[in-house]
Amino acid sequence: MFVALPLVSTMLATTPEEIRQTLGDPEVLQSLGLTFLAGALATGIAILMGLPLAYLLARYRFHGKGIIEGLMDLPIVIPHTAAGIALLMVFGSKGILGSALAPLGLYFVDTLAGIVVAMLFVSLPYLVNMSRESFALIDIELEHAASVDGASAWQAIWLVTLPIAWRGIAGGALMMWARGISEFGAVIILAYHPSIITVLLYERFVGYGLSAALPVTVVLLLFVLFIFGFLRYFLLPERT
Amino acid sequence: MKFRLHLYLILALSLSGCFVRLPTGDMTSGTSTIPPTLKSSDVTTPKEKTPLRVFCAGSLIRPFDELEKAFEALHPEVDVLMECHGSIQVIRHVTELHEKIDVVATADHALIPMLMYATTDAETGEPYAEWYIRFASNRLALAYTPQSRGADQIDEDNWYNIIPQPGVRLGIADPRFDASGYRALMALRLAEDAYTQPGIFNNVIQGRFKHPINIFEDDDFTEISVPGILEPKPDSGILTRGASIQLIALLQSGDLDYAFEYESVIRQHGLNWIKLPDAVNLGSEANNPQYNRVQVKMDFRRFASVEPVFKGEQIGYGITIPTNAPHPDLAAKFIAFLLGPEGRRLMEANFHPILKQPVCDQAPSVPPELGSFCPGELSP
């Protein structure tokens, strides 16, 4: 009730006509596209780089493992505006990475790259943690059995572990993507423009008022509900 | 299956909402955070502090922070809740978001009649404000840091050649939300006349936004038209933020080379700055005839509300008490404190030029406690 009430009352506060107009508003559509794209890019990068880390954390003991696990939880507990400032210190033009990557033409302040970095930072833990748990649940004997049958270590992971861990990884990726696209605090500090949908929504709210912000809110809710429901339904069917 | 169940749940909830009267049509009044009973409880439980909500222009944040502390020291029973935004946003919190605010201080006094006199509060049937006092001025300047590109060459006579250079990043407050933003646009146009260098405005602004800021020249008059969507092109070298104070952090982090800021704010932060001539900085009363020749229009047709037009004139900060303020008496005390010797001292300590003689608009409506600041009386 607590969760549903604000959502439902927001939905009911707009007219279909307003929603139709908003769906035809190029600024809103571009912003939605940009947001989903940036969230997908962040998730993609996380799958490439975070999945091996999740596997390592699940399978091996090594020095500093506790530290890495602690670090992985940090973005969840850091307030996001603070995360944004921290990212600005690193990815800003005078920051370590910002100044190192600038010669390659990669800038982070007010660019898509900045949005992706902010989303990646705040949402990476969801993917890593959920995938790690999913890997840890799989008996290592299965990989050993595959090795005995002649599979290489890579084949054992690729053909045995990943397919079984798939549900957890996909769930983690979905959570990460959802968390990424809903990010505001860190993104607004690093990249106010191009405006992702949460920034646009805030801008409409403070700049033009409630009547301008409501239809965008509803369209955003509808999009997210639809995509989230769709992905949940097809990617993660109930186990029978 | 589960998902379908959720849908049913949402449907059921929305139906049941019809019976429990969801706050659908009346969303707007929900934003008020001050219970109306607070005043009476104040008497019975003295420990409960009365909240005084003060909304100010971003450029007032430093002096008003100090003002808050000094005022609370004098009135321990009051908790001043300060919130600062771009000036237009400050007013929209009252007129669009219907928040109950006690004191509104904006960087452009003209916004108060334009947006508050002209809008009627549906709850009270009155306009959101009926008077204001112009109390302070400021000057626009160009802020930079020693690390800024071109910092070693820039001076008062060549800044307009440095800031449009490729690779130089310039910050401007968003003219749709902040007075400093449209004033920066005016200053760029005024600079063309002051330096007899036509093209400064176009060099700095044109071609750098996705939707162009258009400039219309008449014989003796210029109108700058700001589109409803204002987003710098990628790699254009221009950055905008909702309020000019948000650009300060980007200057300090090295992500901006220059930014148009108020002189008071620049000096509060100890930044380097280029002083702009009086004919450009919008801070000199004597130059009003020149300033008057430029205006900035907001092309907001897409949102069908007001289309604000800002006339060039000497920067004037305005302060008022909204008609729906929960604590108008305390608000008047706060303003009297600001305009009195202590407030004056705090403003000056923060390099903010405060008017020797405040100017009242609609003086007969000014609360009696503040009447002493309007000796000119009855002037419209």
Mean pLDDT of A26-55: 94
Contact (CB<8Å) B253/A92: yes
Task: Indicate the helix (H) or strand (E) that contains B19.
Answer: helix B2-20
> Which residues numbered 42-61 in A keep a CB inside 8 Å of some CB on B?
none
| B276 and B150 fall within a common domain | yes
Report yes or no: B307 at the A interface, CB cutoff 8 Å: no
Write down the pLDDT at residue B63.
Answer: 96
- Model-level pTM? 0.81
Mean pLDDT of A178-194: 91
Write down the pLDDT at residue A205.
Answer: 79
Write down the pLDDT at residue A2.
Answer: 83
Listed in sequence order, the residues at least 6 apart from A27 whose beta carbon sits closer than 8 Å to its beta carbon are A200, B229
Whole-number Å distance between alpha carbons of B345 and B342: 5
Q: Return the number of CB contacts < 8 Å for A and B.
A: 101
Contact (CB<8Å) A13/B24: yes
B57: closest CA of chain A, how far (Å):
14
A203 close to A215: Cβ distance less than 8 angstroms: no
Write out chain A residues lying below 8 Å of B167, CB-based. Answer: none
Domain boundary among B241, B265, B298: B298
| B272 and B288 fall within a common domain | yes
User: Is the residue at B235 inside a domain?
Assistant: yes
Write out chain B residues lying below 8 Å of A5, CB-based. Answer: 13, 17, 22
Write down the pLDDT at residue B306.
Answer: 61
| B260 and B360 fall within a common domain | no
Write down the pLDDT at residue A234.
Answer: 76
Write down the pLDDT at residue A149.
Answer: 86
User: Is the residue at B3 inside a domain?
Assistant: no
| A-interface mutation test, from B18, B21, B26, B96, most A Cβ less than 10 A away | B96
Whole-number Å distance between alpha carbons of B335 and B136: 12
> Which residues numbered 1-30 in A keep a CB inside 8 Å of some CB on B?
1, 4-5, 7-9, 11-13, 27
Identify the closest residue of chain A to B247 by CA–CA distance: A189
> B203 vs B27, B166, B241, CA distance in Å?
45, 11, 21
Write out chain A residues lying below 8 Å of B92, CB-based. Answer: 206-209
Tens of pLDDT along A108-121? 999 999 999 999 99
Q: CB-CB: which of A8, A88, A93 is closest to B13?
A: A8
| B211 and B322 fall within a common domain | no
**3-state SS string for chain A:** CCCHHHHHHHHHCCCHHHHHHHHCCHHHHHHHHHHHHHHHHHHHHHHHHHHHHHHHHHHCCCCCHHHHHHHHHHHHHCCHHHHHHHHHHHHCCCCHHHHHHHHHCCCCCCCHHHHHHHHHHHHHHHHHHHHHHHHHHCCHHHHHHHHHCCCCHHHHHHHHHHHHHHHHHHHHHHHHHHHHHCCCHHHHHHCCCCCCHHHHHHHHHHHHCHHHHHHHHHHHHHHHHHHHHHHHHHHCCCCC
Count the Cβ atoms, other than its own, within 10 Å of residue B328: 16
Identify the closest residue of chain A to B27 by CA–CA distance: A13
Contact (CB<8Å) B177/A207: yes
Write down the pLDDT at residue B229.
Answer: 84
Low-confidence ranges of chain B (pLDDT < 50): 1-45, 304, 378-380
* 3-state DSSP assignment of residue B46: coil
User: Is the residue at B5 inside a domain?
Assistant: no
Report yes or no: A215 at the B interface, CB cutoff 8 Å: no
| B133 and B114 fall within a common domain | yes
User: Is the residue at B8 inside a domain?
Assistant: no
Tens of pLDDT along B135-171? 999 999 999 999 999 999 999 999 999 999 999 999 9
Q: Which domain holds residue B104?
A: 50-137+316-373
| B150 and B232 fall within a common domain | yes
B285 close to B353: Cβ distance less than 8 angstroms: no
> Which residues numbered 145-204 in A keep a CB inside 8 Å of some CB on B?
189, 192-195, 203
Write down the pLDDT at residue B324.
Answer: 95
| B235 and B332 fall within a common domain | no
Tens of pLDDT along A150-164? 888 888 888 888 888
| B121 and B146 fall within a common domain | no
Whole-number Å distance between alpha carbons of B366 and B321: 9
Is the model more confident about B271 or about A227? B271
| B123 and B185 fall within a common domain | no
Q: How many CA atoms lie within 13 A of B143 on its CB side?
A: 31
Domain boundary among B235, B264, B298: B298
Query: Could you tell me the CATH number of the domain that includes residue B91?
Result: 3.40.190.10
B117: closest CA of chain A, how far (Å):
17
Report yes or no: A226 at the B interface, CB cutoff 8 Å: no
At position B156, the amino acid (one-letter code) is E
Contact (CB<8Å) B27/A93: no
- Is the complex ipTM more than 0.90? no
Q: Reading across the β-sheet that carries B170-173, which strands appear in turn?
A: B238-241, B170-173, B258-262, B140-144, B272-275
Question: In chain B, how many domains are there?
Answer: 2
| B264 and B180 fall within a common domain | yes
Sorting pLDDT into bands at 50, 70 and 90, what band is A236?
low
Tens of pLDDT along A161-174? 888 888 889 989 99
A142: closest CA of chain B, how far (Å):
32
User: Is the residue at B149 inside a domain?
Assistant: yes
| B281 and B231 fall within a common domain | yes
Domain boundary among B298, B331, B363: B298
User: Is the residue at B75 inside a domain?
Assistant: yes
Sign of the torsion formed by the C-alpha atoms of B307, B311, B312 and B316 = negative
Whole-number Å distance between alpha carbons of A234 and B27: 36
| B334 and B188 fall within a common domain | no
Write down the pLDDT at residue B377.
Answer: 53
Identify the closest residue of chain A to B9 by CA–CA distance: A4
User: Is the residue at B34 inside a domain?
Assistant: no
Listed in sequence order, the residues at least 6 apart from B377 whose beta carbon sits closer than 8 Å to its beta carbon are B363
At position A63, the amino acid (one-letter code) is H
Q: Reading across the β-sheet that carries B294-299, which strands appear in turn?
A: B214-217, B222-227, B294-299, B309-311
User: Is the residue at B15 inside a domain?
Assistant: no
Contact (CB<8Å) A206/B249: no
Listed in sequence order, the residues at least 6 apart from A23 whose beta carbon sits closer than 8 Å to its beta carbon are A29, A219
